[in-house]
Amino acid sequence: MKKYGKETAVGIFVLIGLVVMAYMSVKLGNVTLFSDDYYMLKADFTDVSGLKVNAPVQVYGVEVGFVNFISLNQKDGLAHVEMMILRNVKLTDDAIASIKTSGLIGDKFVKIAPGGVGDPVKDGDTLFETEPALDIESLISKFAFGKV
């Protein structure tokens, strides 16, 4: 029977710890290593206040994906949002993407109202019908200061 030295035992212990940390990071961090289950949809909004990467994307109130990337489109001054949608969710190009708030002052998410008569969307397509986020703070301040 072969005995291992202390250095070998510590090395194996550290390796097991790194594997467990990597697994937990992927599992808890919502990291998708294999994107075969999703396809990408894009949408441009005039305002995405409060929307964050990894925010849910919902259709009929059911979570069907997440926000993958948010950037500013310098060319037309719009906020560009890339979403990852589950492959089994079929949408058409006349769908409407809206930014909604969960509860009164909750987190923002993207709600997609599926179309009905448009062409099916493919990976990388853009939804052109969008509705920006409703800015509750500005509405309250307008009401409070009588600037309605």
Write down the pLDDT at residue 142: 76
Pairwise CA distance, residues 103 & 106, whole Å = 5
Mark whether 68 and 3 lie in a shared domain: no
Model confidence pLDDT, tens digit, residues 46-68? 989 889 999 999 999 999 999 99
Six-digit token string for 68: 């993958």
The sign of the torsion formed by the CA atoms of 43, 47, 51, 52 equals positive
- Quick check: 70 pLDDT over 80? yes
Q: How many domains does the chain have?
A: 2
- Quick check: 34 pLDDT over 60? no
According to DSSP, residue 22 is labeled H
Pairwise CA distance, residues 143 & 148, whole Å = 6
Write down the pLDDT at residue 31: 61
Place of tokens 């290593």: 33
- Quick check: 36 pLDDT over 60? yes
- Quick check: 145 pLDDT over 90? no
Place of tokens 């920006």: 132
Structural domain includes residue 8: yes
According to DSSP, residue 59 is labeled E
Six-digit token string for 83: 């979403």
Mark whether 85 and 121 lie in a shared domain: yes
Write down the pLDDT at residue 3: 73
Mark whether 74 and 55 lie in a shared domain: yes
Write down the pLDDT at residue 39: 93
Mark whether 20 and 68 lie in a shared domain: no
- Highest mean pLDDT out of 22-31, 55-64, 106-115, 133-142: 55-64
Q: How confident is the model at residue 1 (pLDDT cuts 50, 70, 90)?
A: low
Write down the pLDDT at residue 56: 94
- Residue 46 burial (C-beta neighbours within 10 Å; 0-12, 13-18, 19+): exposed
Place of tokens 């006349």: 94
Range of the domain at 60: 35-135
Mark whether 66 and 81 lie in a shared domain: yes
